[in-house]
């Protein structure tokens, strides 16, 4: 059985983790539309993909999974996961399990206004959020401070700082896309990453958490594995609502000990690696569930108190990635 990492991008580390999890029982296949993706440096097979929005894309993926004995597929880009959900049945008939989530959940996580509904359903706080359109129409905003960001942006993309209610109003008046930008109350607290782990039948199995000590451009540079009771209790409530398969990555802020949801992503998050460095092993769990083998209980846990740091390295691209042609 082989594993497909779609939109693998720079995540060479995740390729290595899945190779270790497979331990010779299969290969890791990386695909990305960008031929200069760092994941290609380590993947056993690499293919340059069509753009995910292209009309041929889904057929291309299904055919690739069939021809390459892919038993487990996941994407590192949520819009891709959303598309792959539409061929979940086809993939399963070909023996390929998809890590994903119900499309309506992904739609909620991709829209920072609708994420509020998801938070309400889970029963967790969400920061006050208004579209700039609502601001223009006179919504009653608190004093601030606010952060202004794209309604569908990821991480720190499309982020504009705006301190006060007055500055938000000025920005709203200047905006030509008032429906696609939001103003969100900026909280002060401790930022956490939480992975909610379901098995491939969407049954809750556990969670990993880490406190982010340093962030740069929205990416954790330093984090320490944690074990906050309030997050241990929250994780199964999230899982019950999201009903996802595999991994759901959640950003939270603890304000005076109480959790506020910041962002949900139905995929591996970039900061999972901090839990992996502390003993978690989600790739091993997913591979075992896909193959139908017993898991090791230890994979479900990370040791709290392990501080880890992000570093960069440079990998040679041993061979140019292939161009997969269906039916070839």
Q: Footprint of a copy of itself on this chain (CB under 8 A)?
A: 10-13, 36-41, 213-214, 222, 273-274, 276-278, 306-317
Closest distance to a copy of itself from the beta carbon of 45 (Å): 17
For a copy of itself, the closer of residues 227 and 307 by Cβ is 307
Alpha-carbon distance 226 to 67, whole Å?
42
Q: Least distance in Å: CB of 321 to a copy of itself?
A: 11
Is the CB of 37 or the CB of 175 nearer to a copy of itself? 37
The minimum distance between CB 95 and a copy of itself, in angstroms, equals 31
Please name which of 102, 100, 131 lies closest in space to residue 114, comparing C-alpha atoms: 131
**Cβ proximity to a copy of itself, 29 vs 239, nearer residue:** 29
Minimum CB distance to a copy of itself smaller for 110 or for 271: 271
Closest CA to 145 of 187, 200, 94: 187
Within 10 A of 7 (CB to CB), how many other CB atoms are there? 24
Q: How far is the CB of 213 from a copy of itself (least distance, A)?
A: 7
> Looking at beta carbons only, is 46 or 207 nearer to a copy of itself?
46
Q: How far is the CB of 41 from a copy of itself (least distance, A)?
A: 6
Task: Print the SS3 string covering 46-109.
Answer: EEECCCCCCCCHHHHHHHHHHHCCEEEEEECCHHHHHHHHHHHHHHHHCCCEECCCCHHHHHHH
The H-assigned helical ranges of 223-291 are 229-242, 272-276, 282-291
Q: How many residues does the chain have?
A: 328
Q: Residue 124 or residue 278: which is nearer to a copy of itself going by CB?
A: 278
| In contact, 298 and 213? CB cutoff 8 Å | no
What region does 57 belong to: left with phi over 0, alpha with psi -120 to 50, or beta?
alpha
Shortest spacing between CB 276 and a copy of itself, in angstroms: 7
């Amino acid at each position: 059985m082989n594993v497909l990492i779609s939109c693998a991008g720079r995540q060479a580390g995740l390729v290595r983790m899945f190779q270790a999890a497979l331990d010779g029982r299969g290969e890791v296949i990386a695909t990305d539309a960008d031929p200069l993706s760092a994941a290609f440096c380590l993947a056993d097979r690499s293919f340059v993909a069509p753009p995910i929005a292209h009309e041929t894309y889904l057929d291309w993926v299904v055919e690739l999974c069939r021809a390459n004995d892919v038993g487990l597929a996941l994407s590192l880009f949520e819009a891709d996961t959303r598309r792959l959900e539409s061929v979940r049945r086809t993939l399963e008939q070909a023996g390929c399990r998809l890590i994903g989530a119900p499309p309506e959940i992904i739609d909620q996580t991709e829209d920072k206004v609708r994420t509020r509904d998801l938070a309400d359903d889970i029963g967790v706080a969400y920061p006050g959020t208004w579209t700039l359109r609502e601001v223009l129409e006179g919504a009653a905003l608190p004093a601030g401070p606010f952060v202004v960001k794209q309604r569908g942006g990821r991480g720190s993309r499309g982020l504009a700082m705006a301190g006060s209610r007055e500055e938000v109003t000025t920005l709203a008046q200047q905006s030509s896309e008032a429906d696609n930008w939001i103003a969100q109350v900026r909280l002060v607290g401790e930022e956490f990453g939480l992975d909610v782990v379901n098995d491939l039948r969407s049954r809750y199995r556990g969670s990993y958490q880490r406190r982010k000590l340093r962030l740069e451009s929205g990416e954790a540079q330093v984090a320490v594995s944690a074990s906050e009771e309030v997050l241990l209790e929250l994780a199964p409530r999230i899982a019950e609502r999201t009903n996802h398969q595999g991994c759901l990555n959640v950003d939270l802020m603890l304000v005076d000990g109480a959790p506020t949801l910041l962002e949900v992503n139905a995929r591996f998050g970039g900061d999972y690696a901090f839990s992996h460095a502390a003993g978690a092993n989600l790739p091993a769990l997913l591979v075992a569930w896909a193959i139908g083998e017993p898991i090791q209980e230890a994979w479900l846990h990370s040791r709290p108190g392990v501080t880890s740091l992000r570093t960069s390295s440079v990998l040679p691209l041993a061979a140019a990635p292939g161009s997969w042609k269906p039916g070839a």
